[in-house]
Amino acid sequence: MKKHLFINGEWVEAAAYITLYSPYSKEPIAQVPDANLDETERAIEAAVRAKSVMRKLPAHRRAGILERLSVLLDQRREEAARIIALEAAKPLKTALAEVDRTVQTYKFASEEAKRIHGETIPLDAAPGGEGRFAYTIREPIGVVGAITPFNFPMNLVAHKVGPAIASGNTIVLKPAEQTPLSAYFLCELLEEAGLPAGALNVVTGDGKLIGDKIVSDPRVNMITFTGSPGVGIGIRGKAGLKRVTLELGSNSAVIIDREVNVDPIVARCVAGAYSFQGQVCISLQRIYVVEELYEEFTQKFAAAAKQLKIGDPLSEETDVSALIRERDVQRSLDWIDEACRQGASVALGGTADGGILMPTVLLDVDPAAQVSCKEVFAPIVLINKVRSVEDAIALVNDSDYGLQAGIYTENVRTALDAADNLHVGGVMINDIPTFRVDHMPYGGVKQSGMGREGLKYAVEEMTELKLVVINRN
């Protein structure tokens, strides 16, 4: 399979191609463009030229394109899931769930396209404002530069492309090096859905080369980035006055209070910790359990995690497959070793088989160990004992990150106190921090980022507020 650049509504032969390999089988899966600066320039030019077309496209047309896209993707959901499984080693059932969410994301985007509006302002509230009528409108920001990670190659692209089209913008998309095929598949669907030429342009290749060009080009009006904190912070430093939204990493935690029914919580926590090998920005990484339930919880959790099926992402049975890069396997093993040297014990896993890190459970982990205080992005979870929910909240907050957190409790007062005191973008009461549906406001505090996604909120980020004042005097 050979893919070409998608620029100005056309498939453009690139000057250079690289071979894309499966992270699981290590076999070649496609030839993909390794775009250079000239090609990135052409993509930006096309997006700039298409601005006036998109700006004038009526809301019902933008909504119609997104609605058709959502239907087309639904019709080809199995093909789409296989692409994700192949390029990202995402187990097929998880990949199918991603496609189904992506269908929803574009559907929400199509609905949101129809309700972008401002408000009227009572100017006579201020002396001197009498006899004037004012209203606001939201205008498209222009060219959106979208840079996306490998871990949700369809749905996180949708969280940028969907609201950008809904609000009448044009896009230059740079997907992650390892997952370009999902993005090119989207281009095929959008061609069929009737998107005007130049509204979406996709360039694949070196992140730093292409990323720097998109981030520093003055004609790009906004950068929407999802990825690692290091890259995100660098982007913010280079972007100048461009609007920037950053959806970055985390080390998400859940708190288990006394008197809860452990069994359903264990099942949910196992899913939250090991889905897609823990390579999810809100993956469950830290579990704090009150001492009364600690033994029961850890035993049941380790037993449940042991049942996970390890293997080929293309098998419908598989729960856990290869990590995205081999070096992440060694890094994970090093971090596990470090935690053990600092007093932790391994209740499950702790070993690797080729590119696969076995689902791992660590107990009594020092908060300073990297598996606790950094983003682990691997199938590793720690379970620590706490004396009280208050202590647990302090531990959750003692982090450079703050994306989402969860608490299981039967006590409404405890739940509401936790909602007040957890310093994160979203608090999940009686659920894991990994819960997300696609229209909710989603984003973090501290090093987890800035700005919010979730269609309505992303549309706000991708539009500018304009005020119109009419003097009737």
- Cβ-based nearer residue to ligand NAD, 188 or 206: 206
By CB under 6 A, residue 235 contacts ligand NAD: yes
Residue 141: C-alpha distances to residues 212, 244, 463 (Å): 20, 12, 5
By CB under 6 A, residue 211 contacts ligand NAD: yes
Q: Vertex 246, ends 240 and 248: CA angle to 5°?
A: 135
Distance of alpha carbon 80 from alpha carbon 93, whole angstroms = 12
Instruction: Give the footprint of ligand NAD on residues 405-464 (CB under 6 A).
Output: 449
* Three-state secondary structure call for residue 200: strand
Report, in Å, the least distance between residue 48 CB and ligand NAD.
Answer: 19
Q: In 10 A of CB 420, how many CB atoms?
A: 9
Interstrand relation of 170-174 and 401-402 (parallel, antiparallel or unpaired) = unpaired
Residue type, 100: D
* Three-state secondary structure call for residue 195: coil
* Catalytic site includes residue 291: no
* Catalytic site includes residue 281: yes
Residue 249-288 contact track with ligand NAD, rule CB under 6 A, x = bound: x-------------------------------x-------
Closest CA to 466 of 114, 137, 88: 137
Distance of alpha carbon 176 from alpha carbon 179, whole angstroms = 5
Choose the stretch contacting ligand NAD; rule: CB under 6 A; options: 100-108, 185-193, 208-216, 412-420: 208-216
Choose the stretch contacting ligand NAD; rule: CB under 6 A; options: 70-78, 168-176, 185-193, 353-361: 168-176
Q: In the complex, which residue's CB is closest to ligand NAD?
A: 211
Closest CA to 200 of 183, 218, 217: 183
By CB under 6 A, residue 148 contacts ligand NAD: yes
**SS3 per-residue string spanning 13-25:** CCCCEEEEECCCC
By CB under 6 A, residue 98 contacts ligand NAD: no
* Three-state secondary structure call for residue 430: coil
Which one from 281, 375, 453, 461 is the annotated catalytic residue?
281
Near ligand NAD by CB under 6 A: residue from 33, 149, 350, 359: 149
**Burial level of 250, CB count in 10 A (0-12/13-18/19+)?**
buried
Residues 21-60: b if buried by 16+ CB within 10 A, e if exposed:
ebbbeeeebbebbbbbeebbebbbbbbbebbeebeebebe
Which one from 247, 375, 453, 461 is the annotated catalytic residue?
247
- Cβ-based nearer residue to ligand NAD, 163 or 227: 227
- Cβ-based nearer residue to ligand NAD, 142 or 211: 211
Interface with ligand NAD (CB under 6 A), residue total 30
Near ligand NAD by CB under 6 A: residue from 3, 174, 331, 456: 174
Report, in Å, the least distance between residue 39 CB and ligand NAD.
Answer: 15
Tell me which residues touch ligand NAD (CB under 6 A). 147-152, 156, 174-177, 207-208, 211-212, 215, 226-228, 231, 234-235, 247-249, 281, 375, 377, 403, 449
Which residues have a catalytic role annotated?
A: 247, 281
